[in-house]
Structures are given as C-alpha cells and as structure tokens.
Amino acid sequence: MSDKPLIDKIAWIYIKDRNVLATRSRGKDAWYLPGGKREACETDYETLIREIREELGVDISQETIKYLGTFQAQAHGKPEGVFVQMTCYTAEYVGTLVPSQEIEEMDWHDSQVDQSLLSPVDRIIYAYLKKENLID
C-alpha cells in the first residue's frame, strides 16, 4: 500500500432471497453496500447502527450483529493509491427499509450485477459473497 490515508468504513451485509441489499446515494452513479465512516470514537457496532438508521430508517438488532470480513481496495472516486477498508457485518433489523437522507434508492443485487456500477471494494465483497454461496 502507500502512505496515503486509509478510509475506514463499516458496511451492513443484508441478504434476502440470495440477493444483497445495495444503495445509491443522491447524485452518484455507483451502488454501495449500506454503511459509512465512523464518527469520533465510535465502535464498529455504534457506526453500523447509526449509519443504517440514517440511511435506511431501520434499527439494527445489536444482539444479531456478526462479523463477516474486512476487505480493502482502491477507494472509488479518490486519487490512485487512496484505499478504503470495509469492515462488514451481517445483522437483523427492526422496522421498514426506507431510503432516507442521502440515499436516492435501494435495490437487491446478485453477483450478476453490472460490475461497472460497483465500487472496487464492493466488487471484491460481492465476489466473496458468491464464493461463500450466500448470493446467486
């Protein structure tokens, strides 16, 4: 890697009917796994719970959170050599999924989604989910 900063993000992997939930932010052309960057001294769980509430209006059930994996790749839309590290968790939720604030839309993807519409780290994660037989 390089001496450029590593963007530290937390992502929610929610799979239903062998498809993974993805979101697209307002004004963006790429799809992302829901989640985001931690604030101040937040833990992974605190970041996950806050980000998913902000983006999709549901409450993550903390007792169901399970670590899935950590993935790194070139950060989408950033200068060459800036990497993102995505720490991924699965979890159940309470409420109704509704895109809110910065999220324009949500959709369900399998591994056949157009890879050019995904960030580099999400491409790696989708391939992992397919390899682990979690999505079609």
Considering the domain boundaries, does residue 83 fall inside one? yes
Q: What is the pLDDT of residues 46-75, one digit of tens each?
A: 999 999 999 999 999 999 999 999 999 999
Q: 41-45, 73-77, 93-97, 130-134: which range is least confident on average?
A: 73-77
Q: Does residue 136 fall inside a structural domain? A: no
- Cα distance between residue 100 and residue 40, in whole Å: 23
pTM for this prediction: 0.93
Domain count, the chain: 1
The residue-averaged pLDDT of 80-106 equals: 95
| Residue 19 within any structural domain of the chain | yes
Residue 50 maps to a domain: yes
Four-residue CA torsion sign, 112, 118, 124, 126: negative
pLDDT higher than 70, residue 32: yes
**Residue 11 belongs to what domain range?**
6-131
Q: What is the DSSP letter of 95?
A: S
Residues for the chain: how many in total? 136
Q: Is residue 37 part of a domain?
A: yes
74 within some domain: yes
Q: What CATH number does the domain containing 83 carry?
A: 3.90.79.10
